[in-house]
Structure 1
Amino acid sequence: MAAATEVEMGLERCAYARVGLLGNPSDVYNGKALSFTIADFSATVRLRPSPELLIQPHPHHDLVAFPSLPHLVSRLQSEGYYGGVRLLMAICKVFYNHCIQNNISLKAENFTLSYDTNIPRQAGLSGSSAIVCAALNCLLDFYDVRHLIKVELRPNLILDAEKELGIVAGLQDRVAQVYGGLVYMDFSKEQMDKLGHGIYRPLDVNLLPPLYLIYAENPSDSGKVHSTVRQRWLNGDEFIISCMKEVAQLALDGHRALLQKDYTQLARLMNRNFDLRSCDCREMFGDDVLGSVNIKMVEVARSVGVSSKFTGSGGAVVALCPDGEAQAELLHKACQEAGFVVQQIKVAPSVLSDEELTSLSIC
């Protein structure tokens, strides 16, 4: 529970960017996933009591004043119509409706929500859901209902908020950001139908080897990746179903490899995850969807023997250097020459309280 003085002075909660290590995009298809959060990139939401309920626009991400009409058009062409205000409004609606439907009473007090983020836009790092997750944490503590909404169900609320806005996504990102740290997830249909959520297992972040993040200055649009594939899956396309089952198996195999610290196997699995998505199964996601810049990032990493795959739907790549620091130096040089940003990943720790972790073990 948030202290009364904290609520009175204002709350501040953050959620970290997410990297899909293995299994993506099978989370949308009753698959499995291994994901973790990055300490260097996060979204922060601030909530303070106020006479009226106010959603405060961000001075950069929700810009509505421009020097000229050409500047406005240029901005829309490069960044689209999207900002964080709509995300904050959506989670407020979903949170309120969930509380009403589950007889959770809320105090009659208003607030002002504002946000900030340093997560690169459209880079496959789940920047939008980080804003929603941080806002949900503010609402849980402002209304003192954290203990009444199960940890396992919070990712569903975040996803529901994004669905309100037409965002196509799965639960993987939201689970990783609600839990923080390293998480193994099982979204099998039996579990989803029985529990209303998957089975999520937090893991020790020290199981991970050194990993690197590669991203482009001109990211892709990650929102369109699942479009035709999901419909084919729903229609019972055997090819798509078979591919997704293999992608899901990679997450299960990766879970075992991490527990054994078998990083040679982990590197192989990461490469296979990407190959299934773009090479062996180009019929599943063609180059037009994956994007030439995104594919080039993987190709640059592999040119120096580094294992790599998308962190999400595109825009960024997670890389593992099987041969250690000397190979990492080659990776830095190759990325610099190709015009990509590369940095070693600092994994964020779990964000759950001891009480919440205990509740997971008895559910």
Structure 2
Amino acid sequence: MRQLFSEVYLVTNADKYKHYERWATANGFPAENVVNDGSTTPEDCLGAVADLELVIRSRRLQDDIMVIAGDMLCSDQNFDIAQVLRFFRSKPGDLAIYYVLEEGERSCSRGIVEVCPDTHRITRFLEKPEEGLTASRLASVVFYCLRRVTLPRLSQFLALQSSAWDRALGRFWEWLINDEKVPVFGMKLPTGFQLIGQVGLSDYIQWLSRYAAKQEGTSGKPITCRTYARVGLMGNPSDGFHGKTIAMSISNFWAEVSMTETQTLVLLPHPLNDPTEFGSLQDLHSISQKEGYLGGLRLLQATCKKFYQFCSEKGIALSKKNFTLKYDTNIPRQVGLAGSSAIVSATLKCLMKFYNITDHQDMPRAVQASFILNVETEELFITAGLQDRVVQVYEGLVYMDFSKDLMDEKGYGEYIPMDMTDLPQFWLAYLCDPSDSGRIHSNVRQRWLNGDTAVVQAMNSFAELTDQARSAFKCKDWSRLAQLMDQNFELRRSVYTDESLGPGNLKMVQIAIQFGSAVKLPGSGGAVVGLCLDSDRLMAMKQAFQEAGCVFCIIVPYDPSSASVQDSDLAP
């Protein structure tokens, strides 16, 4: 760590100076960098700000500095301090480190910060506030980075204070942030903190043992997370055009990712989806021709890369620990059931659990959905919209509004989970060989960007159909919902054309129509989803699909509110 800093100084009082001087001599630390503040009793102590100012003045420091309390214990010493320095250098101001108070820790024992989630600027600093004064549980500790332009303010602050208590560093930051309005940013560390002076030996041993037990309890134990496939029931594909959609996660198909802490970071290829061994050159040729070259391994790698980038930009320091990551999936390839985003989503869930990233403070669910989309579009150049990622993060039956005003204002849309009780029986059919499923998006996006009247009106109509479908769900008017699903497909057909939809999709739609079932595309193509209210005709239709060489199944909705198995309990 020493190579990150030009000089390191230790400030102590006169009473303990000789101990630290002897320690410095024995450990190769420059003895001249141990600074004696001259105090011997609590009554004549200078206070932390005065001690800091003494070092700066006596050593004529004119550089940016980092300040860490010498009596601070950290429950996780594996975080990367270089991350702190990189984040500090990326911000136009000073930096204060914070952590989330543990259960039982009282806010009145710490400096408490309120942090803007978008800019990461600390909007308010409260030194050991009374209970009820703030709802924040973000505790600032004596771990700061100050820019050299801020250093003269230490002397200005000291001129206002008379007692050592008032010269505490927490009081300085309270004054600097609340009164002086100096820009100070916050960075979260993945750890808890204690002070040696506030605990006795027995407390110290117990505190370290508790965190050691916590680490042992998670170390080596796999974290396994599952994300389900989804079907778009209404409005798609307008999610990429400021429209509205309703989609549902289904438990028929899923992607599962497992993560175990290991010495090095390893991404394991899937034996089927990422083949590295073949029976022959002909076997390699046949598999490559049918499935292409893009398996799931690239999804894991892109998610990990983007996750580190996100945490670095958002001021979240990560523990320096590694893992082995592997995945499995039974979602059919290339039939528009969001198989790729399911792998990315499950990987993100594992990373968040592994690094203790919360979905309320660090990465809210709406932000998670946008993150997953960015992994695919920015890292892997996959054409996609937000719908799949939203429903896979929120799970269940979700109404989504992607209107331009919302997206411009918040960066994401309005996502509302819907009641899933007494749903009708939806069905799904998909092609065994989706190679002729058509180029679904065709030139529609360019036409929309050009302001093509037909495309713009169609996207507005998709939104209107979605609002009507939402009402049908509320009233449980399944006949009306079936009509709307048919209208959704016909509208899509008019905009994208039969040539773009492809013969495979049109063939499946025609089979459904023959049996009087509502039908539409649940995604980008290769599958159809439908609603048949006549159970006898449903069974006859199933047989017809199978005879046509399609796979047919009754949809089993995934309702997160009634799920009996938690992600962390899933078998790897």
TM-score (structure 2 length as normaliser): 0.59
Please tell me whether the aligned partners of residues 168 and 223 of structure 1 are also in contact (alpha carbons under 8 angstroms): no
Deviations 1:24-73 (A, max 9, x none): 00000000000001111000000111111111100110002222222222
Deviations 1:79-98 (A, max 9, x none): 11110010011111111111
Residues 1:86 and 2:298 aligned together: yes
Selected match of 1:32 from 225, 244, 256: 244
Selected match of 2:331 from 100, 107, 119: 119
Please tell me whether the aligned partners of residues 182 and 350 of structure 1 are also in contact (alpha carbons under 8 angstroms): no
Q: Distance in 2 between matches of 1:35 and 1:6?
A: 35
Q: Distance in 2 between matches of 1:132 and 1:124?
A: 15
Residues 1:265 and 2:458 aligned together: no
Residues 135/222 of structure 1: CA separation in 2 closer, same or farther (3 Å cut): farther
Q: Distance in 1 between matches of 2:351 and 2:436?
A: 29
Q: Distance in 2 between matches of 1:113 and 1:329?
A: 41
Q: Distance in 1 between matches of 2:459 and 2:251?
A: 30
Please tell me whether the aligned partners of residues 438 and 502 of structure 2 are also in contact (alpha carbons under 8 angstroms): no
Please tell me whether the aligned partners of residues 20 and 35 of structure 1 are also in contact (alpha carbons under 8 angstroms): yes
Count of aligned pairs: 347
Deviations 1:149-196 (A, max 9, x none): 111110111001111111000000000100111000000010011111
Selected match of 2:559 from 349, 353, 358: 349
Residues 222/159 of structure 1: CA separation in 2 closer, same or farther (3 Å cut): farther
Residues 1:194 and 2:409 aligned together: yes
Q: How far apart are residue 204 of structure 1 and its match?
A: 1.6
Q: How far apart are residue 216 of structure 1 and its match?
A: 1.4
Q: Residue in 2 aligned with 1:338?
A: 548
Q: What are the within-5 Å matches in structure 2 for residues 102-251 of structure 1?
A: 102-147=314-359, 148-163=362-377, 164-206=379-421, 208-220=423-435, 224-251=439-466
SS in 1 for 2:290: helix
Q: How far apart are residue 251 of structure 1 and its match?
A: 1.2
Q: Distance in 2 between matches of 1:217 and 1:86?
A: 24
Q: Distance in 2 between matches of 1:316 and 1:92?
A: 30
Deviations 1:273-312 (A, max 9, x none): 111111xx1xx32333312111111110110101111110
Residues 123/33 of structure 1: CA separation in 2 closer, same or farther (3 Å cut): same
> Which letter does structure 2 place at the counterpart of 1:136?
L
Q: Distance in 2 between matches of 1:11 and 1:184?
A: 30
Q: Residue in 1 aligned with 2:502?
A: 291
Q: Gaps spanning 5+ residues in structure 2: where?
A: 1-101, 103-213, 564-572
SS in 2 for 1:285: helix
Q: Distance in 2 between matches of 1:262 and 1:175?
A: 25
Q: Residue in 1 aligned with 2:528?
A: 317
Q: State the structure with bigger RCO (CA 8 A, min sep 6), 1 or 2.
A: 1
Q: Residue in 2 aligned with 1:360?
A: none
Q: How far apart are residue 350 of structure 1 and its match?
A: 2.3
Task: Give the share of equivalent positions with the same residue, in percent.
Answer: 47
Q: How far apart are residue 352 of structure 1 and its match?
A: 11
> Which letter does structure 1 place at the counterpart of 2:306?
V
Q: How far apart are residue 223 of structure 1 and its match?
A: 9.6
Segment of structure 1 superposing worse, 33-42 or 5-14: 5-14
Q: Distance in 1 between matches of 2:231 and 2:510?
A: 19
Q: Residue in 2 aligned with 1:357?
A: none
Q: Distance in 2 between matches of 1:43 and 1:228?
A: 31
> Which letter does structure 1 place at the counterpart of 2:554?
Q
Selected match of 2:514 from 286, 303, 312: 303
Q: Residue in 2 aligned with 1:19?
A: 231
Give the structure with higher Rg (CA).
Answer: 2
Segment of structure 1 superposing worse, 200-209 or 222-231: 222-231
Q: Distance in 2 between matches of 1:15 and 1:134?
A: 5
Q: How far apart are residue 222 of structure 1 and its match?
A: 7.3
> Which letter does structure 2 place at the counterpart of 1:149?
M
Q: Residue in 2 aligned with 1:359?
A: none
Q: How far apart are residue 315 of structure 1 and its match?
A: 1.1
Q: How far apart are residue 331 of structure 1 and its match?
A: 1.4
Please tell me whether the aligned partners of residues 239 and 385 of structure 2 are also in contact (alpha carbons under 8 angstroms): yes
Q: How far apart are residue 8 of structure 1 and its match?
A: 3.6
Q: Distance in 2 between matches of 1:255 and 1:144?
A: 36
Q: Distance in 1 between matches of 2:463 and 2:515?
A: 27
Q: Gaps spanning 5+ residues in structure 1: where?
A: 354-363
Q: Distance in 1 between matches of 2:506 and 2:467?
A: 25
Q: Distance in 1 between matches of 2:483 and 2:346?
A: 34
Q: How far apart are residue 9 of structure 1 and its match?
A: 0.7
> Which letter does structure 1 place at the counterpart of 2:340?
S
Q: Report which of the two has the higher share of helix.
A: 1
Q: Distance in 2 between matches of 1:207 and 1:21?
A: 16
> Which letter does structure 2 place at the counterpart of 1:168?
T
Q: Distance in 2 between matches of 1:75 and 1:289?
A: 26
Q: Distance in 2 between matches of 1:221 and 1:174?
A: 25
TM-score (structure 1 length as normaliser): 0.91
Q: Distance in 2 between matches of 1:112 and 1:290?
A: 40
Q: Distance in 2 between matches of 1:113 and 1:106?
A: 17
For the aligned residue pairs, the C-alpha RMSD in angstroms reads 1.9
Q: How far apart are residue 238 of structure 1 and its match?
A: 1.2
Q: Distance in 1 between matches of 2:294 and 2:303?
A: 16
SS in 1 for 2:253: strand
Residues 271/130 of structure 1: CA separation in 2 closer, same or farther (3 Å cut): same
> Which letter does structure 2 place at the counterpart of 1:129?
S
Please tell me whether the aligned partners of residues 345 and 372 of structure 2 are also in contact (alpha carbons under 8 angstroms): yes
